[in-house]
Structure formats: C-alpha cells, structure tokens
Amino acid sequence: MDYELSEKYKVISEAVIDAVPELRWIRDAGICINYEKSYAEKKHSGKRVLAECRKVPEEWKLYCPCDFRIIVYENNIIDLSENQVKVLLWHEHLHIGMNEKNGELTYIVIPHDIEDFHSIVDRFGARWADAGADLPDITKGGG
C-alpha cells in the first residue's frame, strides 16, 4: 500500500494551525483535509519530494469526502527533526487556497511565491529542510 491515513500528521497539523495565525482561516473555513503518509520515494526534477498538498477531485469525493490531501513521504523525511516536520506541514498548508469564480468559492492549490514561501524563508531560511537544520518548535511559540 503506497498511501494510508495518518493520525500522527493530523494531530501535528492541528497544533501547527493553532500556532500559526496565517493558517487559522483553514480551520475557521471548515476546510476538510485528509492527512496521509506514503512510503513511496517520490522525486520531482531530481529532487526528493518531502510532502505535497493536492486538491481532491470532485469525482473522488464519494470515496474521499475532503477538500484537500496532504501527503507526507515517510522515506524522504527520515532525516528531518520533529520541528522540521512541523515547518513542512506549515509549508503544505500554505498551498491551500480559495478562489471566487462567478460568485462561487472554489478550492485551489496555491503555488510557491518563490522557490518556497516567503513566510517560511523569512523565519527559517531557505535551507530549513536540510538535514541537521536546528529549528525551534513553532507549536510552542518558537521561531
């Protein structure tokens, strides 16, 4: 099995959303997210993919009744600390967006505003996901 639901990432994500003011709108808007882990060693353009956020297609909603999926690639984050995983999940939540089209709100996946996201790079630097990077615990007011 390549994917399975992850209570662990759900719990961590809830703490991250509570701790990061710019993410609280996700909870307030009632956006439903499936948190998953995968044992695939995913790569894109030769770089390992740590996690990703995907919009759930309408035709999947019968089986996956959520708005987004956040998938963490377990084999690719083996060298990340717990605090780096929290920042990773913050990063993935920044991809969640809403757009108004013809008077109707729709969900979208937001692309990076630079190679990463300014808000993360400004606080932790561009190399926050490198092995051994020492990051504070964002769920405890660090950073």
The whole domain housing 83 covers 3-140
Residue 105 pairs with which residues in a beta bridge?
100
pTM value is 0.91
Domains in the chain, number: 1
CATH number, domain at 85? Answer: 3.30.2010
Phi, psi at 57, each rounded to 5°: -65, 145
**Matching residue, tokens 């209570």:** 7
And the tokens for 119? 């808000």
pLDDT band at 118 (very low <50, low <70, confident <90, very high): confident
pLDDT band at 142 (very low <50, low <70, confident <90, very high): low
pLDDT tens-digit profile of 37-93? Answer: 999 989 998 899 999 999 999 898 888 889 999 999 999 999 999 999 999 999 999
Sign of CA dihedral 19, 81, 70, 120: positive
- Angstrom distance (rounded) from CA 5 to CA 66: 12
And the tokens for 115? 């190679």
pLDDT tens-digit profile of 83-117? Answer: 999 999 999 999 999 998 888 889 999 988 767 78
